[in-house]
Structure 1
Amino acid sequence: MIKSPVLDPLATSIQRAEICQILGETYNQERWNDWRWQMRHRLTKLEQFQQLLQLTPAEERGLLIAPEKFAVAITPHFASLLDPKDPLCPLRLQVIPREEELIVSSTDLVDPCGEDRDTPVPGLVHRYPDRVLLLALDTCAAYCRYCTRSRLVSQGEMQPVMRRLDAIVAYLEEHTEVRDVLISGGDPLLMSDEPLDNLLRRLRGIPHLEFIRIGSRVPSFLPQRITPELVALLRKHRVWLSLHFCHVRELTPEVAQACDRLADGGIPLGSQTVLLKGVNDSEEALKNLFHGLLKLRVRPYYLYQCDPVVGTAHLRTSVQTGINLISKLRGHTTGYAVPTYVIDAPGGGGKVPIQAETLLAYENGKATVRNWIGKTYTYVDPIEAD
Structure 2
Amino acid sequence: MGITVRQPAPRNASIRTAPIRTSAGLVEAGLAEATALPVLEQVAASFAVSVTDQMAGLIDPTDPNDPVARQFIPAGEELRTTPGELADPIGDGPHSPVKGIVHRYRDRVLLKAVNVCPVYCRFCFRREMVGPGSETLDGAELDTALAYIAEHEEVWEVILTGGDPLILSPRRLAEIVTRLDAIPHVGIVRFHTRVPVVDPDRVTPELVAALKGKRIASWLMLHANHWRELDDTARGAIARLVDAGIPLLSQTVLLKGVNDDAETLTRTFRALVQARVKPHYLHQGDLAKGTAHFRTTIQRGRALMRELRGDVSGLCQPTYVLDIPGGHGKVPLTADYLAPDGEGGWTVTDPRGGRHAYSEEVE
TM-score range normalised by the length of the shorter chain? 0.7 to 0.9
Q: Which residue of 2 aligns with 1:218?
A: 195
Kept after mapping to 2: 8 A contact 1:226/1:258: yes
8 Å Cα contact 1:153/1:186 also seen in 2: yes
Residue in structure 1 matched with residue 45 of structure 2 by the alignment: 68
Q: 1:105 to 1:69 in 2, by over 3 A?
A: same
1:276 aligns with 2:255: yes
Shift of 1:136: 1.2
Q: Does 1:90 align with 2:67?
A: yes
Q: CA deviation at 1:94?
A: 0.3
Measure how far apart 1:151 and its partner are: 1.9
SS at match of 1:235: coil
**C-alpha distance in 2, partners of 1:54/1:225?**
23
TM-score (norm 1): 0.81
Distance in structure 1 (CA, Å) of the matches to 2:65 and 2:77: 14
- 1:19 and 1:143 map into 2 onto residues whose CA distance is 22
Instruction: State the shift of 1:49 in Å.
Output: 2.3
- How far has the Cα of 1:164 moved from its partner? 1.2
**Do the aligned residues in 2 keep the contact of 1:60 with 1:98 (CA within 8 Å)?**
no
Deviation, 1:200, is 0.9
Secondary structure class of the residue paired with 1:325: helix
CA distance 1:135–1:54, change in 2 (3 Å): closer
Contact 1:141 1:221 in 2 (8 A): yes
Partner amino acid for 2:86? L
Q: Is the 8 A contact 1:299 1:337 kept in 2?
A: yes
Structure-2 separation of matches of 1:193 and 1:352: 34
Residue 204 of structure 1 deviates from its aligned partner by: 1.1
Q: Given that residues 59 and 97 in structure 1 are in contact (C-alpha distance below 8 angstroms), is that contact kept between their aligned partners in structure 2?
A: no
Shift, 1:159, TM fit:
3.6
Shift of 1:55: 3.4
- 1:314-360 Cα offsets, whole Å, 9 max, x none, are 11110111100111101111111010000000111111101368xxx
- Which shifted more, 125-134 or 152-161? 152-161
> Are 1:130 and 2:107 an aligned pair?
yes
SS class of match (1:114): coil
User: What CA deviation, in whole Å up to 9, does each residue of 1:264-284 have, x standing for no partner?
Assistant: 110100000000000000000
Equivalents in 2 of 1:131, 1:58: separation in Å? 47
CA deviation profile, 1:169-217 (whole Å, cap 9, x unmatched): 2211211111111010001001111111111111111110111101000
Question: Which of the numbers 328, 337, 344 marks the counterpart of 2:307?
Answer: 328
Among 147, 155, 161, which residue is 1:184 paired with?
161
Post-superposition shift, 1:233? 2.3
Q: CA deviation at 1:106?
A: 0.5
Partner residue of 2:285? 306
Is the 2:113–2:142 contact (alpha carbons within 8 Å) kept by the matching residues of 1? no
**CA deviations over 1:215-252 (Å, ceiling 9, x no partner):** 00001110001111222222345310000000000011
Deviation of residue 85 (structure 1)? Answer: 4.0
The percentage of counterpart residues that share the same residue type is: 43
User: Separation in 2 of the partners of 1:206 and 1:162?
Assistant: 18
Change (3 A) 1:188 1:296: same
Q: Structure 1 residues 81 and 202, CA, compared in 2 at 3 Å: closer, same or farther?
A: same
CA contact 1:19–1:76 (8 Å) conserved in 2: no
Bigger shift: residues 201-210 or 277-286: 201-210
Distance change >3 Å, CA 62–CA 217, structure 1 → 2: farther
Secondary structure in 2 matching 1:91: helix
Contact 1:220 1:250 in 2 (8 A): yes
Alignment-mate amino acid for residue 263 of structure 1: V
Local SS of the residue matching 1:307: coil
1:351 aligns with 2:324: no
1:29-48 equivalences in 2 (<5 Å): 29=14, 31-32=15-16, 38=17, 41-48=18-25
Work out the CA distance in 1 between the residues paired with 2:296 and 2:13.
41
Which of 110, 116, 122 lines up with 1:145 in the alignment? Answer: 122
Whether the 8 Å CA contact 2:24–2:37 is kept in 1: the answer is no
Q: Which runs of 5+ in 1 are unaligned?
A: 1-14, 21-26, 33-37, 358-386
Q: What is the DSSP-based 3-state SS (H/G/I as helix, E as strand, rest coil) of the residue aligned with 2:89?
A: coil
Tell me the distance in 1 between the aligned counterparts of 2:102 and 2:175: 20
Letter in 2 for 1:241: L
| TM-score under structure 2 length normalisation | 0.86
CA distance 1:197–1:100, shift in 2 (3 Å): same
Question: What are the ranges of 5 or more consecutive residues in structure 2 without an aligned counterpart?
Answer: 1-6, 337-363
Does 274-283 or 69-78 show the bigger shift?
69-78
